[in-house]
């Protein structure tokens, strides 16, 4: 009888082990065949998490701080990086947070042709760091003058202690900013400077499942499971809809008229959200002039297209597309930065980096045009 009990205990332990393993890994077949349509456009000696391209073809990138301190906003030329708008902005100064970058997390050209930069105001999500008032800011740079021409600073109650202002999209006089740190959405009136929060900890804002990349679950440096709520967002070309999702999905949407009305209660705004489509662990998105959303699948090294009707198809899959982060669409081209975030200590429980340098920026020729909500 004792031997049977021991055997049963051993089998139970084996089953438990298998279950844990299955949760930490998913059965994924990674691509092995390179797609000949994919072109390497640029390289960087540091990890990036987003790129944007001017109508003239100038490439700007936001660099993560996973490798330690260094420039955060750069122009990329022939594999070399140059701090923008200058070295001073890229050196953090706690005594003057409004004029120095703390943690640049996103950038894009706006409809006005200026370069807009999102400083998260916090060093990480779920790391225990606190948001810094005046460190959290949306900065507008005229690239011809190489000069900051406007800056929107965020403070309480819009900025919460755990806030991490992540990414931004524009819609006329309004900007929408995701906050996966405090899990919500920030709405900014660009004319008045007024900002407010909506969708805080809403069921369609929070993360419901783990993040997987290349079949492996991601973990913070301290060993905790990495979870990221409301992160990606896109505005439809006509400005009617805001699409958004936590990194692991699903994708939701809401009519922007409910976001733009500061007089509405958060409960009233939340009432108008709707689930749009089931998605996947996504590194970054982009939207074209027809309203098609391009969303990377960091688990299968691919980029998928989601039509306005919710139909899904694969645009490209290639072994080189390791964690495609924030993408960009220019005339006839989809730009895809391979960020390799899943190879950094920040997502592998502190294990040594396995990033393959230099990191790459790819582009794919497609019959697409940029959304007018992005740039002209």
- Angle CA 64–373–279, to nearest 5: 60
CA–CA separation, 118 and 186 (whole Å): 12
CATH 3.40.50.300 fits 38-365, yes or no: no
Token pair belonging to 141: 């740079």
Token pair belonging to 111: 């409809």
What is the pTM assigned to this prediction? Answer: 0.92
CA–CA separation, 177 and 162 (whole Å): 15
Tens-digit pLDDT profile for residues 121-149: 999 888 888 999 999 999 999 999 999 99
Domain range annotation of the chain: 38-365
Nearest alpha carbon to residue 355 among 78, 103, 66: 66
CA–CA separation, 32 and 356 (whole Å): 17
The torsion angles phi and psi of 175, rounded to 5 degrees, stand at -125, 140
CA–CA separation, 124 and 352 (whole Å): 18
Please give the average pLDDT of every successive group of 10 residues along the chain, which has 376 residues: 42 36 75 97 95 95 82 96 96 95 95 95 88 96 96 97 96 97 97 97 94 95 92 97 97 98 96 98 97 98 98 98 97 97 92 95 97 73
């Amino acid at each position: 009888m004792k031997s049977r009990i021991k055997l049963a205990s051993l089998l139970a332990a084996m089953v438990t082990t298998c279950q844990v393993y299955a949760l930490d890994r998913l059965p994924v077949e990674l691509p092995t065949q390179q797609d000949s349509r994919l072109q390497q456009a640029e390289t960087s000696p540091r990890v990036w998490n987003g790129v944007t391209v001017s109508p003239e073809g100038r490439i700007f990138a936001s660099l993560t701080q996973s490798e330690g301190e260094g420039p955060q906003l750069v122009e990329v030329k022939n594999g070399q990086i140059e701090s923008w708008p200058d070295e001073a902005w890229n050196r953090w100064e706690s005594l003057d947070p409004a004029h120095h970058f703390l943690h640049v997390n996103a950038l894009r050209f706006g409809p006005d042709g200026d370069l807009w930069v999102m400083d998260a105001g916090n060093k990480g999500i779920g790391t225990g760091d606190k948001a810094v008032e005046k460190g959290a800011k949306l900065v507008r740079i005229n690239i011809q003058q190489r000069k900051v021409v406007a800056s929107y600073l965020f403070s309480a109650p819009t900025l919460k202690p755990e806030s991490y202002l992540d990414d931004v999209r524009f819609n006329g006089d309004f900007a929408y900013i995701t906050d996966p740190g405090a899990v919500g959405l920030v709405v900014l009136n660009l004319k008045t400077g007024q900002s407010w929060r909506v969708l805080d900890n809403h069921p369609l804002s929070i993360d419901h499942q783990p993040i997987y990349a290349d079949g492996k679950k991601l973990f913070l440096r301290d060993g905790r499971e990495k979870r990221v709520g409301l992160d990606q967002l896109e505005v439809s070309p006509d400005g009617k809809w805001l699409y958004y999702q936590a990194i692991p999905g699903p994708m939701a949407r809401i009519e922007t008229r409910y976001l733009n009305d500061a007089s509405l209660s958060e409960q009233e705004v939340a009432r108008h959200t709707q689930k749009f489509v089931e998605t996947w662990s996504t590194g970054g998105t982009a939207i074209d002039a027809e309203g098609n959303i391009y969303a990377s699948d960091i688990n299968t090294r691919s980029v998928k297209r989601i039509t306005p009707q919710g139909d899904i198809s694969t645009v490209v899959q290639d072994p080189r597309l390791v964690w495609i982060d924030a993408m960009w669409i220019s005339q006839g081209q989809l730009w895809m930065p391979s960020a390799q975030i899943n190879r950094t200590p920040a997502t592998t429980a502190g294990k040594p980096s396995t990033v393959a340098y230099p990191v790459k920026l790819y582009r794919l020729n497609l019959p697409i045009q940029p959304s007018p909500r992005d740039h002209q």
